[in-house]
Amino acid sequence: MSGRPAGPRWVEVDPARLPKWLATFSERHGTPVETIRGYAVELAAPDGSTAVLHPPPGAAAPASLAALVTDAAVVRRVGLLLARKGAVAVGVALGESLEASKVDSHYVQGRTAAGGWSQQRFARRRDNQAKAAAGDAADLVVRLLVPVVGNLAAVVTGGDRRAVDAVLADPRLAAVAALRAPRLLDVPEPRLVVLQEAARRARAVPILIDDRA
């Protein structure tokens, strides 16, 4: 794979494209050996290249590669929570389609180089703004996700981990937090278009590739 970055890298493959992706991997690197690695399937090719496939959020731990491919194609309902600084986007997606969504933002001051008493006052103000933003974001999650939490296969999060953690720390969201998928999506400031893209990415199969050829 000339032109590819050296070393392991993540790719996200749509379930519909997964069979073709696997066929291409075999053509380029040779027929791989399949091994179950906990919650993932590792493919080790004769040329030393590897691909570790993880099921999408809400899917079961795979018993085989074939089972992962089949299970990945299932259309699931997932919750979405994207948070970064004072911006938040919350949604419910069935497959790639948003059934419900809400985007909101609050002003949270950036960092400053000032010191002393002014710095302390600024830090308190910024902390209060961040707490207010997290509280309002939690209210949105209560409104959109809590009523349907029993119908969600998973909750996919993205953005800044500290911001997401602050929202899900709300005691009202214990059932939502329990469904949180391990992987955090890297997303820009949450907006509706970003939430729509997150719904698509929530269906994808994350693959860690290490090319040696």
Residue 111 three-state SS: coil
Higher model confidence: residue 108 or residue 6? 6
Q: How far apart are CA 103 and CA 193, in angstroms?
A: 10
pLDDT tens digits for range 37-53: 999 999 999 999 999 99
Percent pLDDT > 70 in the chain is: 83
Q: Which amino acid is at 124?
A: R
Mean pLDDT of 3-28: 89
Q: Is the predicted pLDDT of residue 213 greater than 80, yes or no? A: no
Residue 58's SS3 state is: coil
DSSP 189: S
Query: Which amino acid appears at position 155 of this protein?
Result: V
pTM for this predicted structure: 0.84
Q: Extract the tokens encoding 180.
A: 């949180």
User: In the chain, what are the domain boundaries?
Assistant: 9-74+204-210, 77-201
Fold type of domain 77-201: Nucleotidyltransferase; domain 5 (3.30.420)
* Pair of tokens at residue 23: 């066929």
Residue 78 has pLDDT above 70, yes or no: yes
* Residue 4 confidence (pLDDT): 55
Query: Tokens standing for 61?
Result: 């731990």
Asked if 80 contacts 202 with a C-beta cutoff of 8 angstroms, the reply is: yes
In contact, 131 and 123? CB cutoff 8 Å: no
Distance between CA atoms of residues 156 and 152, nearest Å:
10
* Burial readout 147-176 (b: 16 or more C-beta within 10 A, e: otherwise): eebeebbbbbbbbbeebbebbbebeebeeb
